[in-house]
A and B are shown apart, each in its own frame.
Chain A
Amino acid sequence: MADFFNFLLNGLSIGSIYALIAVGYTMVYGIIKLINFAHGEFYMFGAFVGYTALMFAFGVPASGGEPGYLPLLAAILVAGVATAVLAVIVERLCYRPLRNAGRIVALLSALGVSLFLQNLGQQTVSANYRKFPPTIADSRFPRSEVPLDSIQPGDIFSRNVILTYAVIAEDGRPQQRSATVALAGEPVEAGQLAQARALAQNSALEAHAYSYARVTINNKQALIVVTLLLVAAGLYLLVQHTRFGRAMRAVSVDFEAAQLMGVPVDRIISGTFFIGAFVAGLGGVLAGGMYYERIDPLMGLMPGLKAFVAAVLGGIGSIPGAILGALILGMSEKMVEAYVSSGLRDAFAFGILIAVLLVKPSGILGRFEGEKV
């Protein structure tokens, strides 16, 4: 039963990652009816900008110690803005000239941009996976501290007791490590205990021994979920309570009428791309970078596709729909992996999409709109 909640939390975090990409998909579709297939590449681009920022502006090597929240925050902002600027340029060069050429043409252009960015990445930084520099130290909650001094050889604990300590990494920063003190149900070995005490003694930061609850959430997962909440709240305020948001909604409802009423349509569309890509870029740093610590030029492909599915599932064009769709997709994926078969995950994820669309073609929160003629 405890595992069920662990799977659910895993689904929530991966769903949040999809959601950070899906909101951009859905906003762009909502406003110009374009499925921007290059959006997954914005996520990738953001991760690479964050990588560059951490490596060169903050001097964090891939095998260094954790520099903490401030460099991470700076990397997120830099990556978000850089990605947003890229998106505005892409819109200006590749989509705007085709705005009146029909939706299929714009869609093909988007596919082209997607492939172009993937291949450009492979050519310039190579197709190899690379380690993202460390950001913040891992920790899990809830946990309870077991004072190291109180443990005696032969003691038996019902949970693993794990020591968290730190060594000085090659860049001079402390790097968090962990070591086993006791395995659940097995008597504490004197040698292992002595080793743990020595590690704690020499630790660069204060060392702690913890035993963890059966259901835990990782600080990085929590950070991703919190970011999604902030993004969702920010977008709600933007769309519902600002002039820009009102203009967005106007363009979405009727492009030409909005233009006739004096809405600066081009600027609103650029702004939409800017915001959507900003969120995708910061998602890239948070997920591919901070959480998984592995990036490559094709890293946007699968999450991009899943986010697109999530946006359609939730009702493309609707921001709450995209978030809801992403969370449902993330959780159902993990449930399939956990209880059905880990190999069938993607098949089931897309199966769910088909099932929902058969019952409700406009998606969960979408409204059916007749084709405008």
Chain B
Amino acid sequence: MNRRPWIAGLLLSAGFLLGLAGCSGKTKTEGGSSVKNGEAGPVELKIGANLELSGKVAGWGEDSKKGMQLAVDELNADPKSGVKLSILFEDNASDAAKSKDAVKKLILQDNVNVVVGAVASNDTMAAMEVARDEHIPMVTHASTNVTITQKGGKCIFRICFHDDFQGQVMAKFAKDELKAQSAVLVVAKGNAYSEGLVKSFKEAFTAGGGKVLSEEAYQEGDTDFQTLVTKIKSADPDVVWVPGYYNEVPLIIKQARAIGFQKPFLGGDGWDDPKLYDLGGADIKDNYFCNHFSPSSTNPMVQTFVKNYGAKYNAKPGAMAALGYDAIYCIADAARRAGSSDPEKLRDAIQTLKDVKTLCGDVTMGEDREVIKPAMILKTGEKEHVFHMNFK
């Protein structure tokens, strides 16, 4: 009996040593044969994608992956694209700590030239430290927390609008279009994304003369919102701002409708998933949120994308698929201009992206490593969102 822990300990440490040896060996060999590009041929680029392929926002991670894969396939099939891409997908399980590990693996073990992802702001923020320290450019296609590009340093870029913008747009929309005088704000406690949106909405809404009646909170994973919706109903606001994710928002709306609260709910891009309708049913109808992308847009580029995406995956693309697709096209544009897969040159080329035509509007990278694009306001219908208006 006494000897067993000994053996276990021995085995464990042996395993560790082996693992370490394996890691360092791999880095060396692959480091030696790092991709070199001739002047004439296409730029060969290794992209590492850090995505939520399982866990609570797996729906977005999967969609992003599909969009990215489609872009990679298109670019590789096009002889004029000037790039030859390979992409590695790493699952971060919708977990900040695992996201950091995923990017560590992509950079240190797989030697990728550029990292793309993640979706959730929490996951991106945990992972960007690694990219920053290793000087590998990282492009998040979908994390909208404002502080990401401020804290991330010169290697961290974003190709979607950020939370302040979403909050401002929706506050203005509530005031100008819905004629709302008062609002209740509902935050998903501990979620950087939700907290950012609540703050920016509040500033813009009160600056425009609106009144915030109360601020409420819930925890992700909660299912019982009876008390929350009772408080909302008693406050009787013109709109409710609930910029959470699609897991809890439909339950909040459903439970509010069940006690007879009939005013519209407003949200951000966190609503964009079919799960909103799966979980909320018919009660989801007639609410508004802003988004990066709408498959019902008349832009011919979007229509081609919707067609190709449908042919490949037999599904309708959401914003995550479109943003993932755009991120790959932006990276390809940068690689072509840099003429090299060297991370330093790649970084400079991403910094100078200019008028790249993408599905979600033209991308020009600003000094602050942010792009500003118009937002689309979508209205929720019976089973899917419909394009409502473009709003700046």
User: Which of B54, B94, B216, B260 has the most chain A CB within a 10 Å cutoff?
Assistant: B260
- Is residue B257 within 8 Å, beta carbon to beta carbon, of the partner chain? yes
What separation, in Å, do the CA atoms of A126 and B59 have in the docked complex? Answer: 11
- Chain B residues whose CB sits within 8 angstroms of the CB of A299 once the complex forms: 223
Q: Is B58 an interface residue (CB 8 A)?
A: yes
Q: Is A109 at the interface (CB under 8 A from chain B)?
A: no
Question: How far is it, in angstroms, between the C-alpha of A131 and the C-alpha of B273 when the chains are bound?
Answer: 14
Chain A residues in 8 Å Cβ range of B262: 160, 162, 180, 183
Q: Is the CB of A10 within 8 A of B224?
A: yes
CA distance A162 to B58 in the complex (A): 37
8 Å CB contacts to A: which residues of B238-290?
247, 251, 257-260, 262, 275, 278-279, 281-282
Mark interface residues in A1-36 (1 if CB within 8 Å of B CB, else 0).
001001100100110000000000000000000000
Contact pattern, B 201-228, Cβ under 8 Å of A = 1, otherwise 0? 0000000000000001111010110111
* A10, A162, A294 pick with most chain B CB within 10 angstroms: A294
Main secondary structure of the interface of A (DSSP, over half): mixed
A127-B56, A292-B224 known; A3 vs B231 contact (CB < 8 Å): yes
The segment from A246-254, A335-343, A363-371 that touches chain B is: A335-343
Q: Is the pair B54, A122 in contact by a Cβ cutoff of 8 Å? A: yes
Q: Which B residue sits closest to A130, measured CB to CB? A: B278
Question: A128 contacts B58, CB within 8 Å?
Answer: yes
Which of B58, B221, B226, B227 sits near A302, CB closer than 8 Å?
A: B221
Kindly report which residue of chain B lies nearest to residue A138, judged by CB atoms: B258
A63 touches B278 (CB 8 A): yes
**Distance from A55 Cβ to chain B, minimum over Cβ atoms (Å):** 14
B26 within 8 A of A: no
Given contacts A3-B230, A338-B231, contact A177 B282 (CB under 8 A): yes
Find chain A residues with CB under 8 A from B221 CB: 298, 302
The complex places the Cα of A212 from the Cα of B258 at a distance, in Å, of: 11
Q: What class of interface size applies to chain B in its complex with A?
A: 20 to 34
- Contact status B217-A343, CB under 8 Å: yes
Chain B, residue nearest A132 (CB): B279
Check B388 for interface membership: any CB of A closer than 8 A. Answer: no
Give the distance in Å from the alpha carbon of A3 to the alpha carbon of B93 in the complex.
Answer: 40
Asked whether any CB of chain A lies closer than 8 Å to the CB of B298, the reply is no
A195 at interface by CB-CB < 8 Å: no
Complex Cα spacing A172 to B160, Å:
42
Contacts of A208 in B (CB 8 A): none
Chain A's closest residue to B277 (CB) is A63
Binary per-residue interface labels of chain B (104-137) against chain A in the complex, 1 for a CB within 8 Å, 0 otherwise = 0000000000000000000000000000000000
Q: Which residue of A lies closest to B216 (CB)?
A: A342
Cross-interface CB contact of A3 among B58, B216, B234, B281, cutoff 8 Å:
B234
Binary B-proximity of A197-225 (CB < 8 A = 1, otherwise 0): 00000000000000010001010000000
In the complex, A171 has a CB within 8 A of chain B: no
Is B227 touching A334 in the complex (CB atoms < 8 A)? yes
Q: A292-B251, A294-B251, A342-B218 are in contact. Are A10 and B226 (CB under 8 A)?
A: yes
* B255 nearest CB neighbor, chain A only: A292
A360 within 8 A of B: no
Residue A235 at the chain B interface, CB threshold 8 Å: no
Once bound together, how far apart are the Cα atoms of A343 and B278, in whole Å?
A: 27
Residues in chain B near residue A218, CB distance under 8 A: 258
Answer yes or no: A288 CB below 8 A from chain B CBs: yes
- A175 close to chain B: CB less than 8 A: yes
Q: Which B residue sits closest to A216, measured CB to CB?
A: B259
Check A129/B218 contact, CB under 8 A, given A14-B224, A218-B258, A294-B251.
Answer: no
A62 at the interface (CB under 8 A from B): yes
Pick the most buried of A7, A122, A127, A298: most chain B CB atoms within 10 A of its CB: A127
On B, residues with C-beta under 8 Å from A are 54-56, 58-59, 93-94, 189, 216-219, 221, 223-224, 226-228, 230-231, 234, 247, 251, 257-260, 262, 275, 278-279, 281-282
| Pairs A–B under 8 Å by Cβ, sample size 18 | A7-B227, A13-B226, A14-B224, A127-B94, A128-B59, A131-B279, A140-B259, A160-B260, A160-B262, A180-B262, A218-B258, A293-B279, A299-B223, A302-B221, A342-B217, A342-B227, A343-B217, A346-B219
**Apart from the given pairs A63-B281, A180-B262, A288-B223, 20 other A-B contacts in the complex at a CB distance below 8 Å:** A10-B226, A126-B54, A127-B54, A127-B56, A127-B93, A128-B59, A129-B56, A129-B247, A129-B275, A140-B259, A160-B262, A177-B282, A178-B257, A183-B262, A216-B259, A292-B223, A334-B226, A334-B227, A342-B217, A342-B227
